[in-house]
Amino acid sequence: MTTKSLLQAIHDGLAGEMRADETVMVLGEDVGRAGGVFRVTEGLQEEFGEYRVMDTPLAESLIAGAAIGLSVNGMRPVAEIQFADFIPPAFDQIVSEAARFYYRSGGAYYVPITVRVPYGVVPGGALYHSQSVEAWFCNTPGLKVVAPTYPADAEGLLRSAIRDPNPVVFFEHKRCYRLLKEEVPEGGAVVPVGKARIHRAGTDLTVVSYGFVLHQALEVAEKLSTEHGVEAEVVEPLTLYPLDRGTIVDSAKKTGKVLVASEANLTGSVSAEIAAVVAREAFEWLDAPVMRLGAPDVPTAPFAKPLLESFMPGAEKIEAALLELARY
Amino acid sequence: MAMKQTRSRHEALALGAEELLKIYRHMLSARRTDERMWILNRQGKAAFVVSCQGQEAAQVGAAYNLRPGHDYAYPYYRDAGIVMTLGMTARDQLLSLMGKGEDPNSGGRQMPGHFSSRELNIVTASAPIGVQFPQAAGTALAFKMRKEDGVVLASGGEASTSGGDWHEAMNFAGVHDLPVVFLVQNNVYSISTPEPLQVAGSIAARAEGYGFPGVAVDGNDVLAVYEVARGAVERARRGEGPTLIEAKTYRLTGHSSDDDDRRYREREEIEEWRLKDPIPRFERYLLENGVLDEEGRDEIDGKVKAEVKEASDYAENAPFAESGFALEGVYAVVGGKR
């Protein structure tokens, strides 16, 4: 076991897959010589050369489209979109092309690409380095969307994503890159796409969350246990699309109370889908309405610090929501 | 009295009679199949037709240089001439037209003209314009990375050069000297919008800005297209990089069977271009050069028509996919290497 940050785990997952399979490659903006703006790909170009770790022009549609074309011709590309906020130009290639190759060719062409997307609010990130855009991709049949939060899951899921024959959009929360550290098995255990994780067992209520908000929710859960004797079960979907409905619904049935929390804009969010699933499939087990916590429907976190703080859900709001749910 | 040339054009290109007749037959098959599609549409047996008519020389002349199943093709929806040169048949086209289960492109999921064949390396196409170019660049990059001599033909109409994808792909192909041939079939109309409102300056000349050759060619002269495309494919195979070919041609039909082109172009204009129709033009060349006589021409046309008729009957009688086919096959389950 080695203690790794989220960033190191993703780096190691990439390097490991590249060593094991010579068709695995990385392409994106500044991923080569600079090792990525976050240093996720640091050292990879030195080890694997400038084609397998390719600095591309600043053209996201090209990056996604070229990844598709590479995969058609025997490669397993991992494309990096530098910030989630820059993904809209690649939307057509990901949503209308990669996601549909398999279906529209009657199963003749599959697209084993992974699109890595750093997302989420960081201080100073402002309107174009902060967004949580995962919901855009979560009603696109043919895509898989994953968003691991902790290092071991991230390394294991990245390995699965690269080996998956389908296009996988892989979200990495930027604020967690260096903040979250944990022990990761040597070589990285493979974590399957499509399975949720129960981080903390509990009996009184369920929190379904991912990203930085998940980390906060786990801290709040410990506090509630100590201060109020309320035991929260904390579930991380890991795969946002298609959802592991079973694990989420089972937890809802067990506790009867559910909060879904993320930092994405609330309306039309992944949380909305989770809430709908729980409301339909666990209705008779529920003791309270399904609650959601998210960012307000304004573009994203502004630049100035006080403005940013008023945007984020935050630990206090999570605690208040859980106490309200506990008392319901 | 005209002087007899010492060497004919095809001899200069080292094309023998057999090859010329293959090229002719590909063009004719694409045309006759297309004509049959319109009849089936007018009979109420086919919901939608999108046509290759007028562009067969550009398509066949270019695709004839590829090695099917080794090189890659990214066609657009008019490229029946390309895919039939690579090995798709009239039957394939008509199964697709009617959305039948045996449609090799998609099993009846896609509209006609959205070509796909894994065996022939014809990469599944969609309707949005220009998306194939970045994909083609990526496929070419894989060849280059493995030091293989594969070539990628990426084809589109003049309107596909207006969006960002085309320019992003041209730039990337230029940066890495990728083995890709960009074939732009400038057929003057994008649905109703004429070339002067679609294209600034010259498409062919844009290649210079990306650092590789761009050639404008008479797209209705199959030997001229063949010659230019052969040079481009050989250049790509040698690892010297991409070429842009602008084949100047004309769309002889409406945009599709749902389009009434009387709203935006004069009949006289179409009639003028009919005189330059690439198929009779090549036929005249073959007759004048003694490659074909009238009897031989009629025999080939008879065979092609019979083939199309058989294909049409077959497709009409072929079953649709089971309705469950709509709801399955969204995700690949096994991810074995190709």
At residue A186, the pLDDT reads 87
Q: How far is CA A169 from the centre of its chain?
A: 8
Q: What's the pLDDT tens digit per position in A144-170?
A: 999 999 999 999 999 999 999 999 999
Yes or no, beta carbons of A104 and B124 under 8 Å apart: yes
Supply the CATH number for residue A8's domain. 3.40.50.970
Nearest of A249, A270, A267 to residue A258 by alpha carbon:
A249
Task: Output the average pLDDT for chain B.
Answer: 96
Residue B216 lies in a domain: yes
Which letter, b or e, does each residue of A152-171 get, where b requires 16 or more Cβ atoms within 10 Å of its Cβ? bbbbbbbbbbbbbbbbbbbb
CB contacts < 8 A (A, B): 150
Both A215 and A121 in one domain: the answer is no
Residue A106 lies in a domain: yes
Cβ atoms of residues A74 and A50 within 8 Å:
no
At residue B4, the pLDDT reads 59
Cβ atoms of residues B278 and B218 within 8 Å:
no
Enumerate residues 118 to 147 of chain A having a beta carbon within 8 A of any beta carbon in chain B. Answer: 141-142, 144
The yes-or-no answer on residue B77 being catalytic is no
Yes or no, beta carbons of B138 and A70 under 8 Å apart: yes
Both A158 and A304 in one domain: the answer is no
Q: How far apart are CA A159 and CA A152, in angstroms?
A: 11
Burial class (CB in 10 A: 0-12, 13-18, 19+), B45: middle
Q: Does A65 touch chain B (CB under 8 A)?
A: yes
The token pair that represents B139 in the structure block = 């496929």
Residue A321 lies in a domain: yes
Residue B5 lies in a domain: no
At residue A188, the pLDDT reads 73
Domain range holding B165? Answer: 15-255+264-318
Which residue of chain A is at minimal alpha-carbon distance from B131? A93
Q: How far apart are CA A261 and CA A234, in angstroms?
A: 11
Supply the CATH number for residue B91's domain. 3.40.50.970
Both A110 and A218 in one domain: the answer is no
Cβ atoms of residues A108 and A242 within 8 Å:
no
CB atoms inside a 10 Å sphere around CB A47: 11
Supply the CATH number for residue A249's domain. 3.40.50.920
Q: How many domains does chain B fold into?
A: 1
Yes or no, beta carbons of B334 and A165 under 8 Å apart: yes
Residue A192 lies in a domain: no
Torsion sign (Cα): B282, B288, B292, B293: positive
A contacts of B123 (beta carbons < 8 Å): 69, 72, 109
Yes or no, beta carbons of A112 and B128 under 8 Å apart: no
Strand partners, A146: A170, A239
Both A234 and A289 in one domain: the answer is yes
Q: How far apart are CA A280 and CA A18, in angstroms?
A: 43
Both A31 and A148 in one domain: the answer is yes
Residue A124 lies in a domain: yes
Residue A190 lies in a domain: no
Domain's final residue, options A128, A152, A184: A184
Q: What does each of the 328 residues of chain A score in pLDDT, given as a tens digit?
A: 899 999 999 999 999 999 999 999 999 999 999 999 999 999 999 999 999 999 999 999 999 999 999 999 999 999 999 999 999 999 999 999 999 999 999 999 999 999 999 999 999 999 999 999 999 999 999 999 999 999 999 999 999 999 999 999 999 999 999 999 999 998 778 899 999 999 999 999 999 999 999 999 999 999 999 999 999 999 999 999 999 999 999 999 999 999 999 999 999 999 999 999 999 999 999 999 999 999 999 999 999 999 998 898 899 999 999 999 999 9
At residue B3, the pLDDT reads 57
Q: First CA to last CA across chain B, in angstroms?
A: 60
Both A114 and A45 in one domain: the answer is yes
Residues with Cβ < 8 Å from A69, sequence gap 6 or more?
A: B123, B134, B135, B136, B137, B138, B139, B140, B141, B142, B152
Both A53 and A142 in one domain: the answer is yes
Residues with Cβ < 8 Å from A287, sequence gap 6 or more?
A: A256, A257, A328
Which residue of chain A is at minimal alpha-carbon distance from B147? A51
Residue A191 lies in a domain: no
User: Is this complex scored with an ipTM above 0.90?
Assistant: yes
User: Residue for token digits 């895919």?
Assistant: B83
Residue B112 lies in a domain: yes
At residue A187, the pLDDT reads 78
Nearest of A120, A100, A122, A124 to residue A111 by alpha carbon:
A100
Q: What's the pLDDT tens digit per position in B25-55?
A: 999 999 999 999 999 999 999 999 999 999 9
Both A237 and A180 in one domain: the answer is no
Which residue of chain A is at minimal alpha-carbon distance from B331? A142
B262, HSE (Cβ side, Cα atoms, 13 Å)? 1
Q: How far is CA B197 from the centre of its chain?
A: 24
Question: Alpha helix locations (H) across chain B?
Answer: 9-12, 17-42, 56-63, 80-86, 90-97, 132-145, 164-176, 195-198, 203-210, 222-237, 267-274, 278-288, 294-317
Both A209 and A126 in one domain: the answer is no
User: Residue for token digits 């246990």?
Assistant: A225
Both A207 and A164 in one domain: the answer is no
3-state secondary structure of A296: coil
The token pair that represents A324 in the structure block = 């309200």
A72: left (phi over 0), alpha (psi -120 to 50) or beta: alpha
Q: How far is CA B7 from the centre of its chain?
A: 29
Residue B10 lies in a domain: no
A contacts of B104 (beta carbons < 8 Å): 106
Q: How far is CA B284 from CA A16, B4, B244, B289, in A?
A: 62, 16, 29, 8
Q: How far apart are CA A208 and CA B134, in angstroms?
A: 38
Domain range holding A16? Answer: 2-184
Selecting from B106, B143, B172 the residue whose C-beta is nearest the C-beta of A66 gives: B172
Q: Which helix (H) or strand (E) holds A212?
A: helix A212-228
Strand partners, A80: A28, A116
φ, ψ for residue B97, nearest 5 deg? -55, -40
Strand order across the B214-218 sheet: B72-74, B152-157, B180-186, B243-248, B214-218
At residue B336, the pLDDT reads 44
Yes or no, beta carbons of B172 and A73 under 8 Å apart: no
The yes-or-no answer on residue B26 being catalytic is no
Residue A120 lies in a domain: yes
pTM equals 0.97
Residue A170 lies in a domain: yes
Which residue of chain A is at minimal alpha-carbon distance from B327? A103
The yes-or-no answer on residue B114 being catalytic is no
Q: How far is CA A174 from CA A5, A7, A111, A131, A302, in A?
A: 12, 9, 26, 10, 16
Full DSSP string of B30-48: HHHHHHHHHHHHHTTS-S-
Nearest of A238, A215, A271, A11 to residue A147 by alpha carbon:
A238
Q: What does each of the 338 residues of chain B score in pLDDT, given as a tens digit?
A: 455 557 899 999 999 999 999 999 999 999 999 999 999 999 999 999 999 999 999 999 999 999 999 999 999 999 999 999 999 999 999 999 999 999 999 999 999 999 999 999 999 999 999 999 999 999 999 999 999 999 999 999 999 999 999 999 999 999 999 999 999 999 999 999 999 999 999 999 999 999 999 999 999 999 999 999 999 999 999 999 999 999 999 999 999 999 999 999 999 999 999 999 999 999 999 999 999 999 999 999 999 999 999 999 999 999 999 999 999 999 999 754 33
Amino acid at B1: M
Cβ atoms of residues A37 and A82 within 8 Å:
yes
DSSP A167: -
At residue A189, the pLDDT reads 82
At residue B5, the pLDDT reads 59
At residue B335, the pLDDT reads 56
Q: How far apart are CA A261 and CA A275, in angstroms?
A: 10
Q: How many domains does chain A fold into?
A: 2
Task: Output the average pLDDT for chain A.
Answer: 97
DSSP A289: -
Both A144 and A236 in one domain: the answer is no
Residue B276 lies in a domain: yes
φ, ψ for residue A120, nearest 5 deg? 95, 165
Q: How far apart are CA B20 and CA B284, in angstroms?
A: 13
Both A61 and A161 in one domain: the answer is yes
3-state secondary structure of A75: coil
